[in-house]
Amino acid sequence: PFRIEQHLEFIDISEDGYLLLGSSNLVLNYWNGSLWYFKDADLAPEKERSLTGHGCDYSIACGKFLDSREKVIVGDDSGAITVYFITTFENDTIHVIPQMTSLHHDSSITALSVTSSKAQSVSAGNDLAINIWDNETLVSEFKYMPAHTRTITCVMTSPEESSSVFASSSLDGSALLWDRRMNKAACSIKQTQNYGLTALSWKNSNEIAIGSQAGNVAVTDIRAKKDIIAEPVMDCSIHNIIFDNNRGLLGVCGDSTSVKVWDPESKNVVYTDERHTGLVRGLAWHPKSQKLYSCGFDKQIFSHQVTTLES
């Protein structure tokens, strides 16, 4: 593609430290996007330092690595889910090759999560549907529709290796726990009346953080279906949250230019950064350096070295 677009929508970092970046921009009356692949997170978002890129006809909403470096899954605003291979040709050039695409959503993709085994993915769309995908065939194994009564803001698969459990959040104020093995696939783990729920991140297989339009974050025990802790973290709607599973710290961004890190144990915000000049959208913890990376609508990616008293 010609360039990295203005709006950086998401980042994902593989176990080997490779970075996947999705960008979008409005051209005339149409959104288009591009997908970029970097060997090192610190090289992004400069196009000249990327290994390769791929232009898309639609805005790209979300993307994840399916293995350490050569296979990714992406959801876009057409409602399509696409698996791409990252392939090295004989002349040593690297290319992003679409392998297969499936269109089981009637509207744009709003959320995407991959199981810890990498065998399946879960997607949500503005059509209020949730699909469970086989990543080898991109066949939709299960479809729940309507899964919520308003926009589904997040889906997040359980960190357990062989688990069939995932959670979803919605602007209808509910967070649901799904298990396709059960006759009743979904049960409520949180319900709010005055605001929607916007983001999810598992702390472990029994506890999940839930962000809201009110700027609060709750850590909820899925067994008791009760909040262990609930605190205001941002003074705006939360957009994305992600746990650093090594230290139990939660990266948080919202409808603002701030990046924050919240420690549920101390109930304190232990880090705040204001370098972004546009809305912050994507967050990812680096598996090796334990830095937090953020991207946003200012076409910037920043790294955050988060230290606490314990570390």
Count of Cβ atoms closer than 10 Å to residue 164 Cβ: 16
Whole-model pTM? 0.95
Which one is the CATH code of 1-103: 2.60.40, 2.40.128, 3.40.50, 1.10.8? 2.40.128
Beta bridge partners of 159: none
Q: 163-173: per-residue pLDDT in tens?
A: 789 999 999 99
**Quick one: 104-232 is in which CATH superfamily?**
YVTN repeat-like/Quinoprotein amine dehydrogenase (2.130.10.10)
Cβ-contact 49, 38 below 8 angstroms: yes
Tell me the C-alpha distance between 160 and 117, whole Å.
9
Domain ranges of the chain: 1-103, 104-232
Nearest 5°: CA angle at 117, between 238 and 69? Answer: 80
CA distance 186 to 76: 26
Say if residues 294 and 279 touch (Cβ distance below 8 Å): no
**pLDDT by position in tens, the chain (length 311):** 578 999 999 999 999 999 999 999 876 677 889 999 999 999 999 999 999 999 998 999 899 999 878 999 999 999 999 999 999 998 889 999 999 999 999 999 999 999 999 999 999 999 999 999 999 999 999 999 999 999 999 999 999 877 789 999 999 999 999 998 888 889 999 999 999 999 999 999 999 999 999 999 999 999 999 999 999 999 999 999 999 988 999 999 999 999 999 999 999 999 999 999 999 999 999 999 999 999 999 999 999 999 876 54
Residues ≥6 apart with Cβ < 8 Å to 70: 85, 86, 87
